[in-house]
Amino acid sequence: MARRRYDKFYQYYLWLTHRLTDRQLMMVLAAVVGLAAGLGTYIFEILLHFIRAGLVNWFPVERAQFLYLIYPAVGII
């Protein structure tokens, strides 16, 4: 199954290389990489938001402000 999917992507890549010039292919690939990076950044931001909300809601922040000193150390580990 994975081999079949790889073959389809490879055939599509070959079709693109024959159909587009090098400059056009580079622009298409740059757009794909940019979209993938943007989507990854968005997902990472959402993940960080949920982690922060979980940590802040886990303890009463008003009484446990010292935890803000501990959280970065835990994050490094």
The CB-side HSE value for 56 (13 A sphere, CA atoms) comes to 7
Kindly state the tokens that stand for 10: 């490879």
Q: What is the pLDDT of residues 12-61, one digit of tens each?
A: 888 888 998 989 999 999 999 999 999 999 999 999 898 888 877 777 76
Kindly state the tokens that stand for 14: 């070959």
Residue 28 and residue 16 in contact, taking contact as beta carbons nearer than 8 Å: yes
Answer yes or no: is pLDDT of 62 > 80.
no
**What dihedral do alpha carbons 59, 65, 71, 73 form, nearest 10°?**
-140
At 2 the pLDDT is: 64
| Phi, psi angles (nearest 5°) of residue 63 | -100, -15
